[in-house]
Structure 1
């Protein structure tokens, strides 16, 4: 169409004049585009060399993502015959998702970093169908030379702001991008229609989730004479009793624990101790909408008021955060560290009660979170005259019962005063034959009449699985769950100090503040065991003095939400090393690795590398 081509030529000439003289005196340029050029110029955007910045801190589970996903999928199916890309961003112009109908345009968009994690704010890359939409607050159709950056001129973009129907706040932008030669004004209508559908989903989602949470809160409050609280998403509610009974610090503790219960499995009930010393019982009802948990409504009862602290020799520690380590005298490197973690305190108290009462104890938790150490150390403190025997059930076929029988022989009970605690580790790994053999051993212990107590550890993932060990659970009278390290982050400083003191050769090494912040940001999927290995690695690099960020292994710089394969782990460590050698310069790191900058950014995001 000659008139379309002529219009674009006039806009291109106007852009050239603007870049040369700082103004565009022509009616060929839409006013909204001319204003955007001026803002881009004022912001210092280089029309030839500007590059989009990358951000790793994206919320990929947001309400916007959830509500936009089906609309984007439907739009992609409808436009499958046209080579285009559908982009969703947050309200800061950071790209959350990109889907395309053609591989060719995907490669071209990679070249201009129009990919997940990159920021297309107007102040970064100039006039475009994302950042300019956010600046103007209106749907826009930006074609070819209307883009401020010359690398974007081959494209046509139609973008529309996505607003929360209740608050009116812009939540993000939906953008359709194609090559200029395939551009059509219908793109503008398509993106506006799709945006309307997303906004409808936002309204329905907020209404359903909030209404379900509110309705449940009202029902529970009507039946209760005590404190009732509701927590879900950004909503927190509490009745008059909750406001009057608990101060703001106590309420915040209850809210945080409510979120832990909300995302957990099993009954949402727990006893917790507040910072004021009061103990409360929480009994919650999870509110489920579709397949998602929208929130939780809690009844909160005060079980015990705070009492004045009484100094007592050998008092139980307030928290526990140590992994298996050689037992030693109180205060030795193997002694558990104290910490303020509410979940750590709960585990300590539950284990201590069972051991003192002689109740057969089942300890549940993720691998490496310190289940064995917790039981061993608490038994040493609570029953100092006793001794413990560990029976490892690491093999799939049988437990190591031969050694246990020798150590528990009646003739040997006279060698030590008090009871004996037998700790069976990883009983969930046994097959049917191993379970039958262990059950026979349980019966043998019970019939011996010897002063023997029993505890066992199992993996959290195995509790609800249909595995042979389930028939052994009838032999246990109490269960305690040890929370993973990622839910006990406040314990990390003292835990790190204790591990560094215990690790040979004990040269008094410490972590720098920056290294400690890095440790606290990492999720530690293998828990304390992985933390110990990371510190051992760091000590090889810096045997004495203050351990720095770069001394820690590559995975500590990672916030990946999945377990990486061995190949990915090696690739991640190479990237971390290259970034370190380039002093954080990603362009130089990409060149050293021999990969495109956009590929490096995607890998940084995929591996969760902290490259700030």
Structure 2
């Protein structure tokens, strides 16, 4: 087969190169098959609704509309044209099959997921000749508020058909899916994720407290420090907000105390080029270490360019990611040691020391937590990890020098679960507000709220409210 990389646009050429490295056949499509497809998520519900509406307007067109998950697994396919359906079945572009780059080579949906950007792949731009008869337009769907990659919307038609509007339709469907998810979640979203900030990590970010936490934390810290002492490239993994960058910087400071540390957080996909241009000139400078945060959220082409720069600065960078397996291959090849940071719910002994540190950091002086407030903070499972704890503590100490349960937000007294409607959240907050008043019983709270005592008890169970005794 003729090497077309010289005439392909850069993103497609890079995708072809990855396809070859994955060992994808250039002649035959052999996507992996999974017997399980998740139809229960909010993403699938909203995406299927949007595609069904679009499908009704394209009923007479030979276009197949598909929804995939973030790994490229086809979740659904809508099409009434029997000819294109039979043709797609022959190349396994059907529910249950994975069309990620590593399975099917360069294709529209695989490229959209790899680069987290809208993609159009037509005819001979596909890596595999078996796909040359198609044009595929796809757009990623990002979770509102967090920019986490959820999957993609893919439109496939014959390569000889008009393709001018195909990509626009895919982008509109992806945007409508995200908007519908926002509406269905009643606006209860996680805080927006970082958009490519680059900043110094100072030595006092987490002072002595970082080296004197629980065994789970200190063991991970010691593992990272030992690897860095031997010049190994470390990847720190863990849930969002668990303290990956803090552990990386603390370990690095203990090895090279005078070193300047930069933390580069992942950009929005469309900002990747300017993000790289902003800070990569610092790579390789004397006494400089870079923490590449959220590497598993980087577009594939940006990861490949970055890997080339970092390879020459071996040992002078650290990578963080939610999942090591999600780091793009080019960067993952540089990693020698993986260190996992346990989530805060597995480190309850760390909650109060960290809370005390965040309180002093916010108020500029020590702050006291009452026994009841301490029990509430320790008992809560902290789904948002250390980042959530920091926010809760800063809000509480802005109201008092002695933090009691009445100064803590209602979320600390409720079990994490389904998203609440706005009315449910208001009701829960009022119940917690009454119950956290000094000396208030459930019966007194019921009187304040104008409810029966039985109703209050039922609501307490419904919302999983647990207010510790003083």
TM-score with structure 2 setting the length: 0.51
How do residues 391-430 of structure 1 correspond to structure 2 at under 5 angstroms? 391-397=264-270, 399=272, 400-408=275-283, 413=285, 417-418=286-287, 420-430=288-298
Residue equivalent to 2:395 = 537
Question: What is the CA-CA distance between 1:358 and the residue it aligns to?
Answer: 2.1
Where 2:264 maps in the other structure, the secondary structure is: strand
Unpaired stretches in structure 2, ≥5 consecutive residues: 1-198
How many residue pairs align between the two structures?
Answer: 267
Distance 1:396 1:566, change over 3 A: farther
Residue equivalent to 1:487 = 346
1:509 equivalent in alignment to 2:367: yes
Question: What is the CA-CA distance between 1:508 and the residue it aligns to?
Answer: 2.3
Distance 1:356 1:427, change over 3 A: same
Where 2:242 maps in the other structure, the secondary structure is: coil
Where 1:531 maps in the other structure, the secondary structure is: helix
Q: Distance in 2 between matches of 1:342 and 1:539?
A: 28
- Give deviations 1:568-587, integer Å, cap 9, x for gaps: 44332221012235843223
CA contact (8 A) 2:210 2:250 kept: no
Distance 1:574 1:398, change over 3 A: same
CA contact (8 A) 1:388 1:423 kept: yes
Residue equivalent to 1:549 = 405
CA contact (8 A) 1:390 1:423 kept: yes
Q: Distance in 2 between matches of 1:468 and 1:397?
A: 19
Q: Distance in 2 between matches of 1:463 and 1:590?
A: 50
Q: Distance in 2 between matches of 1:607 and 1:488?
A: 25
Distance 1:496 1:351, change over 3 A: same
Q: Distance in 1 between matches of 2:279 and 2:336?
A: 22
Q: Distance in 2 between matches of 1:570 and 1:470?
A: 46
Residue equivalent to 2:73 = none
Q: Distance in 1 between matches of 2:315 and 2:281?
A: 14
Residue equivalent to 1:370 = 243
Distance 1:407 1:444, change over 3 A: closer
Residue equivalent to 1:523 = 381
Residue equivalent to 1:18 = none
CA contact (8 A) 1:356 1:383 kept: no
Residue equivalent to 2:335 = 476
Residue equivalent to 2:321 = 458
1:597 equivalent in alignment to 2:462: no
Q: Distance in 1 between matches of 2:435 and 2:385?
A: 26
Question: What is the CA-CA distance between 1:326 and the residue it aligns to?
Answer: 7.8
Distance 1:333 1:357, change over 3 A: closer
Q: Distance in 2 between matches of 1:401 and 1:598?
A: 59
1:358 equivalent in alignment to 2:231: yes
CA contact (8 A) 1:484 1:527 kept: yes
1:348 equivalent in alignment to 2:206: no
How do residues 205-354 of structure 1 correspond to structure 2 at under 5 angstroms? 327-329=201-203, 334-339=207-212, 341-354=214-227
TM-score with structure 1 setting the length: 0.40
Higher RCO, 1 or 2 (CA under 8 Å, sep at least 6)? Answer: 2
- Give deviations 1:247-270, integer Å, cap 9, x for gaps: xxxxxxxxxxxxxxxxxxxxxxxx
CA contact (8 A) 2:223 2:339 kept: yes
How do residues 115-154 of structure 1 correspond to structure 2 at under 5 angstroms? none
Where 1:611 maps in the other structure, the secondary structure is: coil
Residue equivalent to 1:443 = 308
CA contact (8 A) 1:557 1:611 kept: yes
Question: What is the CA-CA distance between 1:501 and the residue it aligns to?
Answer: 1.7
Distance 1:370 1:577, change over 3 A: same
> RMSD of aligned C-alpha atoms?
2.8
Distance 1:493 1:362, change over 3 A: same
Question: What is the CA-CA distance between 1:375 and the residue it aligns to?
Answer: 0.5
Residue equivalent to 1:606 = 462
Where 2:328 maps in the other structure, the secondary structure is: helix
Question: What is the CA-CA distance between 1:533 and the residue it aligns to?
Answer: 1.1
Distance 1:451 1:482, change over 3 A: closer
Answer 1 or 2: which has greater strand percent: 1
Question: What is the CA-CA distance between 1:428 and the residue it aligns to?
Answer: 1.9
Question: What is the CA-CA distance between 1:339 and the residue it aligns to?
Answer: 3.6
Question: What is the CA-CA distance between 1:334 and the residue it aligns to?
Answer: 4.4
Q: Which moved more, 1:420-429 or 1:476-485?
A: 420-429
Q: Distance in 2 between matches of 1:368 and 1:516?
A: 21
Distance 1:356 1:438, change over 3 A: same
Where 1:541 maps in the other structure, the secondary structure is: coil
Distance 1:474 1:553, change over 3 A: same
Choose which of 245, 252, 259 in structure 2 pairs with 1:386. Answer: 259
Unpaired stretches in structure 1, ≥5 consecutive residues: 1-324
Distance 1:392 1:327, change over 3 A: closer
Question: What is the CA-CA distance between 1:369 and the residue it aligns to?
Answer: 0.9
Q: Distance in 1 between matches of 2:336 and 2:271?
A: 23
Question: What is the CA-CA distance between 1:389 and the residue it aligns to?
Answer: 2.1
CA contact (8 A) 1:398 1:437 kept: no
Indicate the structure (1 or 2) with the bigger Cα radius of gyration: 1
Distance 1:468 1:348, change over 3 A: closer
Q: Distance in 1 between matches of 2:377 and 2:455?
A: 26
Distance 1:358 1:555, change over 3 A: same
Question: What is the CA-CA distance between 1:468 and the residue it aligns to?
Answer: 7.3
